[in-house]
Amino acid sequence: MAGLIALTLAAGCKAQTPVNDPTLARHIEVMVRSQFNIPQDFNLLIGARKPSQIPGYDTLPIMVGRPGGKMTTIDFLISSDNSKLARMETFELAKNPALNIDVAGRPIRGNPSAKVTVVNYDDLECPYCARMHQSLFPDTLERYKDKVRFVYKDDPLTELHPWAMRAAIDANCIAAQSTPTYWAYVDYLHSHGQEINGQDRDVSKSFAALDRIAKQEVTIAKLDETKLDACIAKQDESQVKASANEAETLGVTGTPAIFVEGERIEGFVPEQQLWAVIDRALRAAGVEPPGPAPSTTAQPKPSGQ
């Protein structure tokens, strides 16, 4: 029903000359109500049929909405012999946003020139993201080697995870200087979440821990500590929020959310399921996937929210 109502709204629609056969009109109404779970208190009005571009079918507009409210008009197809009702949607294949995720400037793990990209919308405080991360690295990276590249984008669920935003900002401060150090920081956070939380779950202490670990990684890598300190002190959320907004436009409602050349995987899933999606993308790109993966009995978990 949500998909139905999300279509074009038409205010004040009135029923036109309906399907002439009252029995047919009733069959249409019952079918539409049952197939699309239309609430009982919604009105359903059948409009006048008109020619369509599909041979053997006419267009049949049907209006749905609350009494006294706006009505949504949905165009169905009805066969010329009145025996079939169909619903067809048109999708712009070249404009699928999942196929056009902007990864410019993001740290890459794997082969930068690989034909297949795995994009993960990640929350550094999310326990299911940590499990997904540990599945990606090292197992998935080792399986595909130079055939795939991995890119993380930020989607901190700040209403649930109080230090996720700061972790993402600190990670991006590091990424501005070094891709390997960025990944070292992300690896550490995803394997030491409880350490960051602390026993008393004091957010200010978590912030201090995140900053301290970031500085340690930069010191080890012999990067510009002064530049990092200034970036951490600024705590500019704009880059992270832009990434989170992008995730929202893609329909992401929880983390992790992975896109493999446009195909979405929501939540933590067993490696076999993830690898099946990557294998499909590789074949589509003309690249032969690795040999059969060993079987696993791991069970999927819900997305971390």
* Residue pair 174/140 in contact by the 8 Å Cβ criterion: no
Residue that has been written with the tokens 């983390």 in this structure: 255
- Residue 166: band (very low, low, confident or very high) from pLDDT cuts 50, 70, 90: very high
* Residue pair 117/108 in contact by the 8 Å Cβ criterion: no
DSSP 133-175: HHIIIIIIHHHHGGGEEEEEEE---TTT-TTHHHHHHHHHHHH
> Once rounded to an integer, what is the mean pLDDT over residues 185-196?
97
Specify the DSSP class assigned to residue 304. Answer: B
Distance CA 215, CA 222 (A): 10
* Residue pair 231/210 in contact by the 8 Å Cβ criterion: no
SS3 22: helix
* Residue pair 201/172 in contact by the 8 Å Cβ criterion: no
DSSP 234-293: H---HHHHHHHHHHHHTT--SB-EEEETTEEEES---HHHHHHHHHHHHHHTT-PPPSPP
Parallel, antiparallel or unpaired: strands 50-51 and 85-86: unpaired
* Residue pair 43/66 in contact by the 8 Å Cβ criterion: yes
- Residue 150: band (very low, low, confident or very high) from pLDDT cuts 50, 70, 90: very high
- Residue 2: band (very low, low, confident or very high) from pLDDT cuts 50, 70, 90: very low
pTM of the model: 0.75
DSSP 195-211: HHH-TT--HHHHHHHHH
What pLDDT was estimated at residue 241? 98
Q: What is the pLDDT of residues 235-287, one digit of tens each?
A: 999 999 999 999 999 999 999 999 999 999 999 999 999 999 999 999 999 99
List domains and CATH numbers for the chain.
Answer: 2-86 (no CATH), 97-284 (3.40.30.10)
Residue 296 has pLDDT above 90, yes or no: no
What pLDDT was estimated at residue 297? 46
Q: How far is the CA of 33 from the CAs of 54, 87, 179, 287, in angstroms?
A: 24, 13, 53, 46
